[in-house]
Structure 1
Amino acid sequence: MGYIDLSGPGTATSRLRSAAVPVRFGGCAGLFNAAEATAPASDSAVLLVSPWGFEEMCLRKFHCEIGEALAAKGIACLRFDLPGTGDSADPAGDASLAGWRASVTAAAAELKRLSGARSVILAGHGLGATLALDAADGIDDVAGLALLAPVTSGRSYLRETALWWKMVAADLYLDPAADDGGGLSIAGLVLPAGITAELRNLKAAELRLARPLPVLLVGRSAAAGDEELATQLQAAGCPVERLVYEGYEALKTNPMRSRSPAAVIEGLAGWARMIAPNRAPGRTVATCREAGLAGDGFRETGIRFGDHGRLSGTLCEPAGPRRGASVLIVGTGYDRASGWGRMGVKTARGLAGRGIASLRFDAAGVGDSPPCPGDPDQVLYAPCIDRDVAAAVAELVRRVPGPTVLSGRCSGGYHAFRAALREPSCRGVVSVNSYAYVWDPDVDFNEALAGVARPLRDYSQRALNPKTFKRLMAGEVDVRRAGLNIARQIGRGIAGRFGPRIAALVHRNRLRADIENDFRRLQADGRLAALVYGDDDPGLEQFRMVFGHGGERLKHYPNVVRVSLGDSDHNVTSAEAQDRVIATIGDMALRVG
């Protein structure tokens, strides 16, 4: 194991910013930003407590930027995943708010150990803010509280989160009912039943502090609960600073479109610097090993790699003997590496149970990996992702010598496929619901992102829905775009069935030739490919262009198989579809290894 010196800046060079240092404690996975040496060192450090669910996915990059802003002001920062979420281990028993509060206490102790700070400032977002407030009395040397959009009513939170998810699901072309498992379930993430029951009894009047502390309340303009909490804390003697949460709704709607509110980041960092005393000379900080976490059949190590340790990832290895090829899990869009519905975590730990090692990581500008100078603001399908995939393959082979299998969903499947063509170690690729194998230069990315066509069956179902009719009459349905999408779907179906004669009339023929050449290269190199799709997935266009509407031309490519996910949604939310994907990846890794 290599040692990581936490006393240096660790967050910036003249060109690149390093990723935060991975840490593990009490079964929790965290990331630590050391205070930059160029700023006056603070004797307080900030603990960021995450919200739950899809909200946490949307805010991941935001929290990364908060950590960097605090470090630049000389304030160390630790952010972590609650038990049973993100990259943390699942709790041994039933999850509870008490267990989550205990993890906040453990994280505060770890932060003081890592940073050498005498006190901590607790900062949280959403449900994380409520946990921070609830845990504050049980933590020694708390210097202040930063509460961003805190949950002040458990019943309202559960009701509003469920309604909010229905709107988000519609924006992402998902069926929110598919997540309904009898409790609060969002994006494949289920809020534990015990915590759901406890939250129903949460009221603002119960959110108290035993001693007055400085408070920064970043509130939503129309949230009565924020006002009530501020008044309550002020009455208890707490000096409360107020900051309007500009951009809150847009931030938590979609990781692909969210933009971090710079005013909130700067306001939080400035407030923390104001209340935090400077550190006395001679205080030391910790040096730690690469962070490890063990579970049922697996052991994981949080790592930084690439130039200046700019990329953040997790190496997952089997607890027992290793078998087969190792697997690189390429991330999707702006989702953090743990994945939609923790799919990245489930895949890695499921593979480890079969003896297969894997690496999951965030590309630059995604999740916990800071952006690279010169990269575009929109990195999806960009060459810079290919650069980072190459760095991840090199790191995986360095740590686990031998053949590799590359896997990914949607844009991750595209980049995995492109890397499979050039990486010598790669013996197979599993591409799930990939929109493309070759990016069509005639397609405008932003237009494609905004108007990805829904499957025809989805349009027909919605057209028969009375709610759709009401939205249509109210002018809430984009009829022109829907009509164009239906026309495209019909056109694609015709082109897939009647083949080259129609495709030759348009530039699709050239694109098809490029894709065919790439699949021939895979075949010539003896590399396997599993193309995994839901039966109505919008990404099937290029598949049908090359292999026919029903895959009849697959017979010319004996190294390629089509795997059906049935009626799975594009994000592979259902447990059944996830299991099928994980099994396909594992089978290939064992076959080629």
Structure 2
Amino acid sequence: MGVQHSSWFGPADAPLLAHIHVPDDGRSRGAVVLCPPLGKEHLDTYRGMKALAEQLADRGLTSVRFDYSGAGDSSGDQDSPDAVAAWQRSVVAATALARACGAAHITVVGLRAGALLAATALPGCGPVDAVVLWDPLLSGRSALREQRALYRVTQGTDDPADPRISIIGGALSPDAAHALGTLRIDASVFTAIRTMLATRPAARDTPALSALADALVCDELPLVDHEAFTAPAALYADIPFGGIREIADWIAGGSPTDTHEVVLSLRHRAAVATTTDGSPVYESVESLGPNALFAVRTHAVESAGSDDHRPTVLFFGTAYEHRIGPSRLWVELARSLAAHGVSSVRFDRTGVGDTGTVDAGRPASLYSEVSDRDAIDAATALGTEPGDLIVTGLCSGAWYSSYVALRLRTRAVVLVNMILWSTHRRKSLREQLRPPVPAAPGGGDREPEPASVPLRARIKPFAQKHLPYPAWRLLGRLGVTQVPEVILEALRRAGVDVTVVLSAQDYASFRYQRGDEGLRRVERRGFTGRIRAGVTGDHGAYQRDGREFLRAEITAAVLSSFGRTDPVREPVAEPGVS
């Protein structure tokens, strides 16, 4: 599987984050640059791209995975008018990084829109020996059309007063959307470059792709069942390990046999944003706890006290998402909060994002003993006193926030789009929540009704409506159903300040679970927490306007709890210093 190193790279005033995979012996036959897709496809295919990097390391090749400007953990604004040119510059910078590792032989792989960006950036990349167009989108117009159609079908429309173009989990400026629409793959850029065209049969038969294949002198690879990878109907994507092995074999087969020592010049810290008064916001890549959980720490611009008592927020990821798509919100919140003297850490649990190798078996469960361990390990590894720590996350991340808050008695917890209100999980519930879990795009990680007990689906609505509330609450304590009072009361007893932030969709679920009744009961016992409900928004935070509501409410809750309610310095454009 090789060794993975994480590093900032590129210009000091616009740093990008890369993950460099190096063969175990530190010697390499060449380097491969992996260009990811955009939008939801970037999120769904993330671990598959990592699997390819690991396969290449096994074959003696170095790989560079990276986040485009304004995406993932890289600096930049996702809705910058210059976003498309910045993405292309990211490809050029990643290729330069691969060459700086000592490689003379360079391969560039682009998946979906990543193939389009790679092809249009190729003239600026210097000598490239091989290219893989992996299920390519041939034009920016078709890429944007697909992204916008998916958004409209799953999320509807946004406030027309905001001119940005919405895609799943992100937003583009009108200028960037126009620039993307002008991009097109030109076969002439691949002249004298060894090329593979890996396509789905249905796409291969289209006139545009047939014309490209005819114009290229290339090898071809048919992709089988690829839609479950790039457009899964479940919470997790089916990684096409067979196709990935074939791509890795093709790249390795055309690479030199001689090896060179891999040269690494790692940057573990970079300035990723600048506040209005010119103060830099720094971030560092770290490993947390005994199981080396990948993490990014955002350092406060100023601190309210010593380093041992620095206000800190720990962000929990959602389902199989980490820092891409809706969870880019955690990145943006971290940088905004730093301007108010609040540090933060975001991390990947085992089997998600950049923690752990990619398993060819089933992905990690949403809720498991391993994830329980990771949650506590991450929190305790921060070196932060519980009284200086706020934990927050969305859906499953919200449940893990409550889990840590109850065990460590943190200063506060912000529960975002919470749906699992039990303080413990029955084994049967853990099994119910193992993948695959059907979900529409943007559905988050909702609890399914277990197929093995369909009677429950008929009994639960009756019980919810007709059972006396004490009996309903007892079912919640037993983990049979979800009763908001159970966790709210536990947090009250633990002395943890609570803010619950709910989209319109999740507030309706809260009320259906008799949350209003439970809230009145805990308030009579002294509960002083807040329930903040939006008028729009979906559970997974893919909808733009709902995500902006979450951003405002999470920010207000954190600053209020830390006594920093005045917006001292808001981040602007993101120049920085390495």
Fold shared by both chains (TM-score > 0.5): yes
One-letter identity of the residue aligned with 2:179: E
For the structure 1 residues 318 and 515, does the alpha-carbon distance in structure 2 shift closer, same or farther, using more than 3 Å as the test? same
1:31-81 superposed Cα distances (whole Å, 9 cap, x missing partner): 333322359x43320111121111111111111211111112111111111
Evaluate the alpha carbon distance shift between residue 32 and residue 178 of structure 1 in structure 2; reply closer, same or farther with a 3 A threshold: same
Q: Which residue of 2 aligns with 1:133?
A: 119
| 1: CA distance, partners of 2:259 / 2:298 | 40
2:40 counterpart residue number: 54
Q: Does 1:588 align with 2:561?
A: yes
CA shift digits 1:448-495 (9 cap, x unpaired): 95489x99xxxxxxxxxxxxxxxxxxxxxxxxx999979855753555
Post-superposition shift, 1:319?
A: 2.7
The letter for the 2-side match of 1:104 is: V
Residue pairs, 1:553-568, within 5 angstroms = 553-568=522-537
2:449 matched to which residue of 1? none
What secondary structure sits across from 2:176 in the alignment? helix
Q: Is the 8 A contact 1:493 1:549 kept in 2?
A: no
Give the alignment partner of residue 220 of structure 1, picking from 192, 196, 200: 200
Aligned partners of 1:263 and 1:51: how far apart in 2?
A: 20
| Structure 1 residue 545: Cα displacement | 5.0
Q: Is the contact between residue 45 and residue 75 of structure 1 (CA under 8 Å) also seen in structure 2?
A: yes
Matched, 1:233 2:203: no
The whole-number CA distance in structure 2 between the counterparts of 1:375 and 1:514 is: 34
Cα 1:494–1:564, aligned 2, differ >3 Å: closer, same or farther? farther
1:445 counterpart (421, 427, 433): 433
Q: How does 1:422-433 map to 2 (within 5 A)?
A: 422-423=407-408, 426-433=410-417
Measure how far apart 1:371 and its partner are: 5.1
Q: Given that residues 219 and 243 in structure 1 are in contact (C-alpha distance below 8 angstroms), is that contact kept between their aligned partners in structure 2?
A: yes
Partner of 2:274: 296
Q: 1:124 to 1:162 in 2, by over 3 A?
A: same
2:297 aligned with 1:315: yes
Structure 2 distance, partners of 1:374, 1:519, is 39
The answer on whether the counterparts of 1:44 and 1:143 sit within 8 Å (CA) in structure 2 is no
Q: Which residue of 2 aligns with 1:571?
A: 540
Q: Which residue of 1 aligns with 2:383?
A: 397
Does structure 1 conserve the Cα–Cα contact (< 8 Å) formed by 2:9 and 2:97? no
Whether contact under 8 Å (1:327, 1:589) holds in the other structure is no
Separation in 1, partners of 2:85, 2:511: 50
What is the aligned-residue identity percentage? Answer: 23
The AA in structure 2 aligned to 1:304 is S
The equivalent position to 2:226 in structure 1, one of 248, 264, 272, is 248
Is the contact between residue 284 and residue 296 of structure 2 (CA under 8 Å) also seen in structure 1?
yes
Change in 2 beyond 3 A, CA 1:351/1:492: farther
Identify the residue that residue 369 of structure 2 maps to in structure 1. 383
Structure 1 unaligned blocks of 5 or more: 1-8, 12-18, 170-174, 235-239, 456-480
Matches within 5 A, 1:398-477: 403-423=388-408, 426-438=410-422, 439-441=424-426, 443=429, 444-445=432-433, 449-450=437-438
> Which TM-score applies when normalising by structure 1?
0.79
Alignment check: 8 A CA contact 2:141 2:181 kept: yes
Q: 2:91 corresponds to which residue?
A: 104
TM-superposed CA distance for 1:154, in Å, is 3.0
User: How much is the aligned-residue C-alpha RMSD, in angstroms?
Assistant: 3.7
Match of 2:257 among 278, 282, 286: 278
Query: Whole-Å Cα distance in 1 between the matches of residues 291 and 82 of structure 2?
Result: 38
Which residue of the other structure, out of 128, 134, 139, is the alignment partner of 1:142? Answer: 128
Is the 1:343–1:578 Cα contact (8 Å) retained in structure 2? yes
Matches within 5 A, 1:509-524: 510-511=478-479, 519-524=488-493
Query: What's the counterpart of residue 199 of structure 1?
Result: 180
Q: Tell me the residue number matched to 1:477.
A: none
Distance (Å, rounded) in 2 between the aligned partners of 1:521 and 1:210: 62
Q: Residue 356 of structure 2 aligns with which residue?
A: 370
Match of 1:461 in 2: none
The 1:53–1:216 alpha-carbon spacing in structure 2 relative to 1, beyond 3 Å, is: same
- The alignment covers a number of residue pairs equal to 529
The alpha-carbon deviation at position 591 of structure 1 amounts to: 7.6
Cα drift, residue 138 of structure 1: 2.2
1:126 deviates by 1.4
For residue 548 of structure 1, give the secondary structure of its aligned residue in structure 2: helix
Provide Cα deviations, 1:97-145, integer angstroms capped at 9, x if missing partner: 33322221111111222x2212321111111111112222322231110
Q: Which moved more, 1:382-391 or 1:510-519?
A: 510-519
Q: 2:338 aligns with which of 326, 340, 352?
A: 352
Contact kept? 1:433, 1:540, Cα under 8 Å: no
> What is the DSSP-based 3-state SS (H/G/I as helix, E as strand, rest coil) of the residue aligned with 1:335?
coil
- Name the structure 2 match of 1:266: 245
Tell me the alpha carbon deviations over residues 389-416 of structure 1, each in whole angstroms, 9 at most, x when there is no partner: 1121123226x99721111110000011
The question of whether the paired residues in 1 share the 8 Å contact of 2:311 and 2:341 is answered with no
Structure 1 residues 133 and 416: CA distance shift in structure 2, 3 A? same
- In structure 1, how many angstroms separate the alpha carbons of the residues matched to 2:463 and 2:436? 17
Structure 1 pair 542/389, CA: closer, same or farther in 2 (3 Å)?
farther
1:283-326, Cα deviation, whole Å (9 max, x unpaired):
451242424233123211122333363x2221111233457620
Q: Which runs of 5+ in 2 are unaligned?
A: 276-280, 444-452, 566-578
Counterpart CA distance in 1 for 2:183 and 2:315 is 39
Within-5 A mapping of 1:517-536? 519-536=488-505
Q: CA deviation at 1:419?
A: 1.1
